Amino acid sequence: NAGVTQTPKFQVLKTGQSMTLQCAQDMNHEYMSWYRQDPGMGLRLIHYSVGAGITDQGEVPNGYNVSRSTTEDFPLRLLSAAPSQTSVYFCASSRDFRTDTQYFGPGTRLTVL
**Residue 90 within binding range of other proteins, rule CB under 8 A:** yes
Report the alpha-carbon distance of residue 79 to residue 61 in Å, rounded.
Answer: 12
Bridge-based pairing state of the strands 10-13 and 64-66: unpaired
CB of 35 to other proteins, least distance (A): 8
**Residue 27 within binding range of other proteins, rule CB under 8 A:** no
Closer residue to other proteins, CB minimum distance, 15 or 96: 96
The answer for residues whose C-beta is within 8 angstroms of residue 5's C-beta and 6 or more apart is: 22, 23, 24, 25, 105, 106
**Residue 58 within binding range of other proteins, rule CB under 8 A:** yes
Phi, psi of 54 (to 5 degrees): -125, 115
Closer residue to other proteins, CB minimum distance, 16 or 106: 106
Report the alpha-carbon distance of residue 4 to residue 92 in Å, rounded.
Answer: 7
**Residue 45 within binding range of other proteins, rule CB under 8 A:** yes
The binding site for other proteins (CB under 8 A) comprises 4, 33, 35, 40-45, 48, 50, 56-58, 90, 92, 96-99, 101-102, 104-107
